[in-house]
Chains A and B, each alone.
Chain A
Amino acid sequence: MKTYAPSRMELAPRDIVARAEQSEMDAGRGIDGKDMIHLDLRHLGEARIMERLPQIRQLGIDFLGVDCITECLPIQPTAHYSMGGIPTDKDSHVITDEQGTRMKGFFAAGECACVSVHGGNRLGTNSLLEAVVFGERAGKSVLKYATGIDYGGINEGQEKARVLKKFEEVYQRDGSESYNDIRDEMKEIMMSHCGVFRDKEKLKVCIETLNGLQERFAKGKVTDKGKVFNTEIYEIMELGNMLSVAQIIATAALRRQESRGGHFRTDFPKRDDENFLHHSMVYANPDGLEIKSKPVVITKHQPAERTY
């Protein structure tokens, strides 16, 4: 890490460490030429590892069969958090546009939500904000909202039919495509073309590939048509949602011609506040995804160059 963040070394922010890891792998210096590098904790010694990092050590033993007291841990970059999400205001009420118009009765909190406090990067331990602060605020907002309203006129039969129709649509599929292959290919393209390092060409290939996967998704092979605890059908629906989110991520990344936080464009390596100091609001229109901008409110901490 001396080359990448000499003052903070391995304790530099995650996006910087991830780029350092990927750079080493891309340069062909991965272990045995593979997509992984070594994390060496051995200099800390057994006593310090057992006192400060016992859970990390156990993870290595359980998931990889590697004891970091005596061996190096093989590691690679991964998604650590979903930056962005369902846009909400500070009371966890979901908003639908750049003016902050609230969507009645819809609240979000946690990793699915974007309260716009983290910006382009969510740093370590700031997850506590979601759990401790916005979890509580959401609860209070929902209580306040729920005590002030009556049950709406829900037509139970109609709602049930609407949901069942979604299931029926999947059950009716008579294709031959393997959902496992589609999921694997989605993961592969998102990692290689929309992962740590992005550029225009890669993102275009990514979006095209995802379009192709969307088409194959509709022609998938359903093997379990049962109605009791059918985990296959929810995995299929989940995959459909993941494909949609992947499209949103790639499309927004292509439009954002700058580098900011976890989003790094090799063709635009600098931050560009003049054109991109805003949130991207993505809308699903009949003819594709439409992106609008929502201004960022900066109070105390101005964006600054990050050097470590």
Chain B
Amino acid sequence: MATFRIKRFNPEKQPEPYYEEFQLDIPSGATLLDCMNLIKWTLDGSFSYRMSCRSAICGSCAIKADGHALLACQRQAEHLVKNDETITLEPLGNLKPIKDLVVDFNPFWEKINKVKPYLEPKETPPEKERLQSPQEFRLIDDSSTCIMCGACYSDCNTLEVDENFLGPAALAKAQRFVGDSRDSKTLERVQALSEPGGIWDCTHCGECVERCPKPARPFDRIKEIMTVALDEGVTNNVGARHAMSFFNSVKRSGNLNENRIPVESMGIFNIQGLLSLLPVGLRMFFKGKVPPIIHHSIEEVDDVKRIFKELDQ
């Protein structure tokens, strides 16, 4: 007997969520969703969650199991609940619960809509289809596999502290069109995506890649947009300046000049931005955390320069 500890929530009955335990013999070969269905159909009909295809393609049944988002239909229950122990099921994170494991996806869809998830082609539609070479298609193949299940959105660390962040799913969807050879709005797209809440607010933790049930790997897609943004010359923002400053510091000295990076990131002429750094700087100064004023190169700096030179070619 395995124990399914489920976070229950029904605002019609009581305002606070609570945990309820169900005991179940996991049938051989059953997925986690099969077990949830058994609980619903034989133990408690009011247990609520979304599901549809049972084949990991509709993206409806994403939930949190033992703290991490996954597709319930895609995982063998026995792999998740070793030795008949307890598994905790909760609704996806970063979205408001409606009932039990069902969350309100509206903010998620609003952000998907914000990145204009449709082709904006150069010319009027041709008689037949617009062709792409296999190489061109490969650039958008991975992001096309997103099933918008919300697993990445749930476990995104940036979203936890900044609800204005577009989130991994919307940014992966954005790459689907930034990288599309038939699209005409690449520059406008990367400009909009470089605004606050966009690509540069990602903390590079990689959690979205861990949670993605498909090859979409949102963080990899975010990096691709960053590259396009820099190539398109969209550099007049803190994120891009930070990346450039980071790059230049390593190129020059082999390590980070931690006094210079925050200043260069803000922009040397951004007085207001620079002033906003002062309190942090002062606190660091009084705690003795300010890096050495004179920045030294590492001993093997010539090797680093050689690597950069080779990369340039």
Q: How far is the CA of A150 from the CA of B238 in the complex (A)?
A: 52
Q: Is B45 an interface residue (CB 8 A)?
A: yes
B99/A229 in contact, CB under 8 A: yes
Q: How far is the CA of A223 from the CA of B48 in the complex (A)?
A: 12
Q: Is B102 an interface residue (CB 8 A)?
A: yes
Please tell me which one of the listed residues B73, B75, B78, B98 contacts residue A228 in the complex, with CB atoms under 8 A apart: B98
A62/B74 in contact, CB under 8 A: yes
For chain A, residues 130 to 185, give those with C-beta under 8 angstroms from any C-beta of chain B. Answer: 179-180, 183
Interface membership of chain A positions 45-65, coded 1 if the CB is closer than 8 angstroms to chain B and 0 otherwise? 000000000000001001111
Q: How far is the CA of A180 from the CA of B41 in the complex (A)?
A: 6
For chain B, residues 133 to 189, give those with C-beta under 8 angstroms from any C-beta of chain A. Answer: none
Expressed in whole angstroms, the minimum distance between the Cβ of A30 and any Cβ of chain B is 16
A228/B12 in contact, CB under 8 A: yes
Given contacts A64-B29, A180-B41, A223-B46, contact A228 B11 (CB under 8 A): yes
Question: Which of chain B's residues has its CB closest to A223's CB?
Answer: B45
A231/B48 in contact, CB under 8 A: yes
Contacts of A59 in B (CB 8 A): 55-56
What is the total number of residues of chain A having a CB less than 8 Å from a CB of chain B? Answer: 18
Q: Is B76 an interface residue (CB 8 A)?
A: yes
Q: Is A230 an interface residue (CB 8 A)?
A: yes
Q: Is A188 an interface residue (CB 8 A)?
A: no
Interface membership of chain A positions 25-51, coded 1 if the CB is closer than 8 angstroms to chain B and 0 otherwise? 000000000000000000000000000
B76/A229 in contact, CB under 8 A: no
A180/B12 in contact, CB under 8 A: no
Q: Is B265 an interface residue (CB 8 A)?
A: no
Interface membership of chain A positions 235-279, coded 1 if the CB is closer than 8 angstroms to chain B and 0 otherwise? 000000000000000000000000000000000000000000000
Question: Which of chain A's residues has its CB closest to B41's CB?
Answer: A180
Please tell me which one of the listed residues A65, A179, A230 contacts residue B29 in the complex, with CB atoms under 8 A apart: A65
Contacts of B4 in A (CB 8 A): none
Q: Is B255 an interface residue (CB 8 A)?
A: no
Q: Is A71 an interface residue (CB 8 A)?
A: no
Question: Which of chain A's residues has its CB closest to B44's CB?
Answer: A223
Q: How far is the CA of A28 from the CA of B78 in the complex (A)?
A: 30
Q: List 23 A-B contacts (CB under 8 A).
A: A62-B74, A63-B29, A63-B73, A179-B41, A179-B45, A183-B41, A223-B46, A226-B12, A226-B13, A227-B12, A228-B11, A228-B98, A229-B99, A229-B102, A230-B48, A231-B40, A231-B48, A231-B50, A231-B102, A232-B40, A232-B45, A232-B46, A232-B48
Going nearest first, the 6 A-B pairs with the smallest beta carbon separation are A223-B45, A224-B46, A180-B41, A229-B99, A232-B45, A231-B48
